[in-house]
Amino acid sequence: MKNAASAAKRPAPALLAVSKTQPAQAVAELAAAGQRAFGENYVQEAAAKQAALAPLGLEWHLIGHLQSNKAREAAVAFDWVQTIDRMSLVDALDRHRGAERPALNVLIQVNIDDEASKHGCRPGDVAALAEAIAGRPHLFLRGLMVIPEPHADPELRRAAFARARALFEVLRAQYPQVDTLSMGMSDDLEVAVAEGATLVRVGTALFGARAPRT
Ligand SMILES: *Cc1c(COP(=O)(O)O)cnc(C)c1O
């Protein structure tokens, strides 16, 4: 009950349309229906779509793991990078963003429960990364992003989402500009929203099943 009541008071979460593997045409169709924010996993795959769709003025989020040698490109190609998980990326993205652009919106990706995943910082590292980001003129700290360990039953991700929410509240208490908790995908977005997601990242449920990567 308590959860339902507080969920009712929160604004509806924003929708990030995850367009990886989808052609520019599919993105253009969703844009024509009013969707503005799109998520891509690979800098190179995104570049072709961003070029083709530049006149539409869409908002692009990088949601895939960022290799250091792609940081320069990512810093200028995206409006948001959701996957900062180490100090070297803070430096590289800030250095390459360029003073003529608005600051790059960034989320810290936290490895909230998946011991096997090599991506995302440990929860204990969030404070230091946040402090570093907040001190950079070309980065704008907006919050956290998590991908819980996959479970066949989305209910089993609830505890991880709740832990992410608690970390988010701590961060927000320290940095008033923090407003984004990115969690929830096609198969677990209800649980994520119930636990306080402000941004859900949805691919399959919007575009249909993806073709396997070749
Ligand atoms: C692919 C992907 C999504 C979207 O997943 P769907 O199950 O297709 O909704 C969301 N977040 C990340 C990080 C992804 O890689």
Q: How close is the Cα of 30 to the center of ligand 1, in Å?
A: 17
Contacts of residue 212, defined as CB under 8 A and 6 or more positions apart, other chains included, come to none
pLDDT at residue number 2:
47
Kindly report the average pLDDT of the chain as a whole number.
93
Q: How confident is the model at residue 1 (pLDDT cuts 50, 70, 90)?
A: very low
The pick from 21, 62, 63 for probing ligand 1's pocket by mutation, whose C-beta has the most ligand atoms within 8 angstroms, reads 63
Q: How far, in Å, from the CA of 100 to the mean position of ligand 1?
A: 31
pLDDT at 99 over 70: yes
Q: Give, using CA atoms, the residue closest to atom 11 of ligand 1.
A: 201
Percent of the residues in the chain that have a pLDDT greater than 70, as a whole number:
94
**Residue 138, CA distances (Å) to 80, 93, 102 in order:** 12, 8, 7
Does ligand 1 lie within 6 Å of residue 154's CB atom? no
Instruction: Tell me: pLDDT of 4 over 90.
Output: no
User: Given a cut of 60, is residue 205 above it in pLDDT?
Assistant: yes
Amino acid 158: pLDDT:
95
The number of angstroms, rounded, from the C-alpha of 80 to the middle of its chain's C-alpha atoms is 8
- Sequence spans of domains, the chain: 2-207
- 186 within ligand 1 shell (Cβ under 6 A): yes
Do you know the residue count of the chain? 214
Ligand 1 atom nearest to 186, measured from its CA: 9
Give yes or no for residue 117 CB within 6 A of ligand 1. no
Q: Reply yes or no on whether the pLDDT at 43 is more than 80.
A: yes
Residue 203's nearest CA partner among 18, 13, 14, 15 is 18
Q: Which pLDDT does position 213 carry in this prediction?
A: 60
Kindly state the average pLDDT of the residues 195-206.
97
Q: Does the structural domain 2-207 have CATH classification 3.40.120.10?
A: no
- In the prediction, which pLDDT does 10 show? 75
pLDDT greater than 90 at residue 214: no
Express each pLDDT in 116-159 by its tens digit. 888 999 999 999 999 999 999 999 999 999 999 988 888 889 99
CB 24 within 8 A of CB 32: no
- Verify whether ligand 1 is closer than 6 Å to residue 150 (CB atom): no
Whether the pLDDT of residue 55 is over 60: the answer is yes
Distance 76 CA to ligand 1 centre (A): 22
